[in-house]
Amino acid sequence: MDREELKKQIYTLIEQAQGKKKYKQMDVIKHFRNLGVPDSETKEAIRELVDGGKLIYTYMGGSYIELASKLEKFEKDIFK
Amino acid sequence: MTKKYDTPLLDELEKGPFPSFVTEMKKAAAKNPMAADELGLLEKSFRDKVTYWKHGGIVGVRGYGGGVIGRYCELADQFPGVAHFHTVRINQPAGLFYTSEAIRFICDVWDRYGSGLTNFHGSTGDIILLGTITDNLEPLATIFSLNGFDLGGSGSAMRTPSCCVGPARCEWAMIDTLDITYDLTQEFQDELHRPSFPYKFKIKTVGCPVDCNAAIARADLSIIGTWKGPIEIDQDRVRDYAKKGVNIQEEIVNLCPGKCITWDGNNLKIDDSDCLHCMHCITKLSGALKPTPPFGATILIGSKAPFVIGATLSWVIFPFMEMKPPYQEIKDFIRKATEWWSEYGKNRERIGELILRLGMREFLETVGLKPTPEMVKEPRRDPFWFWKEGDLEGKPWESWLK
């Protein structure tokens, strides 16, 4: 799988899991390992998505990877 | 700025002979509205006996998964200055050495972009800057970065490695704690800034078994300087201590856990083969006794205060490891150990807890170490050695019987 396709699939995985499951970095790596993607490639793709501002690390009793668009909504909700 | 809130309960904490954090907060509150509202909120919390903070969340600096801890106030309408009050962790210099210019720089930046309140240092060791708003996080990280500072660790990541003052100030340092800490910090930048572990992982390095940083109790990986040579004795200085009133028999000999010291009133003898390297005698008779090379470190794993089973000290993994740059052996070990932990650890499970759950035997196999007597934590407790069929086929006892 090429890097761009992998990034797209990681993003989709996180997007579709919203509200249902939170993914830690290792969960994402294991998910793609089962699809035959080497751990180092998944890790690098996550890094690019985070550096590019599409995904962020969140802390909810543990560190997770979530959509960056969640930040704005989070700050609005928290003051309700 | 005039006084914003009455704080009768907090005022009580200014009484007495000790320095008071309330006094310092009041100084900050006089010029910073965030600090003023923080003071008012704290008084209210003391009065109501509840906290009004929400902790955690998703604020941070782009590319970093740690270094910022989101905090929000439930009473934002009443205390608008602390509606956002995020904590920023900055990686401290190894050994906590600063020039006054560097400290002034940090405080000036924090007066401008935050509440002005700081905590030098947090229990992990970072510089803790208390209270800023989300919009200030990116500029803050940029300013610190341009001036040679970086964010520290937080969340499920490697935390900022820390150490004692080591050879910079201490006669007993047997390893270069400062260089080791700096080197490991550089080596594990990714693990520090991009949380990929099940939970936190702390590394603390101390120069000798006195363990001024309490690495044995506070670090997932404790690196404790030690020695292999005999303890050098200056008999004249030992006699001098005796003359000056030190009761060598009571205070040194009887308190030796290895029972390896004898004193005939004139000469002190140490049986080094039974020495447990606690350093009690060396510290009590400073200058009279001295450890000698080769120097290195004992590596321990797995301490944590609030385990399910209670506070746990870390566990010896390498009785003696040479600690010379580029420290490849310890780096390789950290990678193997954390990879295994990331693979099998549950959310919020520390590496020591995983070792207790899956067993030290499995851990040792994973990191490629053979069990040694020094790893036994308690007698009759740790049967690391289980024969497998393959082992028995080789009939190992035949060579032992020879």
Span B205-244, pLDDT tens digits: 999 999 999 999 999 999 999 999 999 999 999 999 999 9
Identify the helix (H) or strand (E) that includes residue B332.
helix B328-344
**Interchain proximity A78–B156, CB inside 8 Å:** no
Smallest Cβ distance to A63: which of B83, B157, B343? Answer: B157
The parts of chain B modelled with pLDDT lower than 70 are 1-2, 56-57, 307-308, 380-385
Q: What residues contact B219, with CB distance under 8 A and at least 6 apart?
A: B202, B203, B204, B303, B314
- Residue-range domain boundaries for chain A: 3-69
B163 with B94: CB under 8 angstroms? yes
Contacts of residue A57 in chain B, CB cutoff 8 Å? Answer: 58, 60, 64-66, 155, 194-195
Contacts of residue B69 in chain A, CB cutoff 8 Å? Answer: 59
What domains lie within chain B, and their CATH numbers?
8-146 (3.30.70.2500), 162-226+300-391 (3.30.413.10), 232-290 (3.30.70.20)
**Interchain proximity A61–B347, CB inside 8 Å:** yes
> Has domain A3-69 been given CATH number 1.10.10.10?
yes
Place A78 in a pLDDT band, splitting at 50, 70 and 90. Answer: low
Span A12-41, pLDDT tens digits: 999 999 989 999 999 999 999 999 999 999
**Interchain proximity B58–A66, CB inside 8 Å:** yes
ipTM: 0.91
- Within its chain, how far is the Cα of B399 from the centroid? 44
With an 8 Å Cβ cutoff, the interface of chain A facing chain B consists of 24-26, 43, 46-47, 50-51, 53, 56-63, 66, 70-71, 74-75, 78-79
In Å, how far is A71's CA from the nearest CA of chain B? 6
pLDDT at residue A43, as a whole number = 96
Flag whether pLDDT at A70 surpasses 90.
Answer: no
In Å, how far is A2's CA from the nearest CA of chain B? 22
B152 with B69: CB under 8 angstroms? no
| DSSP line for B74-124 | TTTTT-GGGSB--EEEEPPPGGG---HHHHHHHHHHHHHHS-SEEEE--TT
Q: What residues contact B200, with CB distance under 8 A and at least 6 apart?
A: B153, B155, B156, B157, B158, B159, B220, B350
Q: Between A and B, how many CB-CB pairs are < 8 A?
A: 77
pLDDT at residue B270, as a whole number = 98
pLDDT at residue B382, as a whole number = 60
Burial class of residue B169, CB neighbours in 10 A (0-12, 13-18, 19+): exposed
B115 with B34: CB under 8 angstroms? yes
Contacts of residue B350 in chain A, CB cutoff 8 Å? Answer: none
pLDDT at residue A24, as a whole number = 95
Span B23-71, pLDDT tens digits: 999 999 999 999 999 999 999 999 999 999 987 667 889 889 999 999 9
pTM greater than 0.90 = yes
In Å, how far is A75's CA from the nearest CA of chain B? 9
- φ, ψ of residue B168 to 5 degrees: the values are -65, -35
Residue B117 bridge partners (DSSP): B130
Contacts of residue A46 in chain B, CB cutoff 8 Å? Answer: 194
pLDDT at residue B171, as a whole number = 94
Contacts of residue B60 in chain A, CB cutoff 8 Å? Answer: 56-57
CA distances B194 to A10, B5, B158, B190, B362, Å, are 16, 41, 9, 6, 27
Give the whole-angstrom CA distance, residue A30 versus residue A13.
Answer: 12
Query: What single letter denotes the amino acid at residue B149?
Result: F
B269 with B261: CB under 8 angstroms? yes
B191 with B157: CB under 8 angstroms? yes
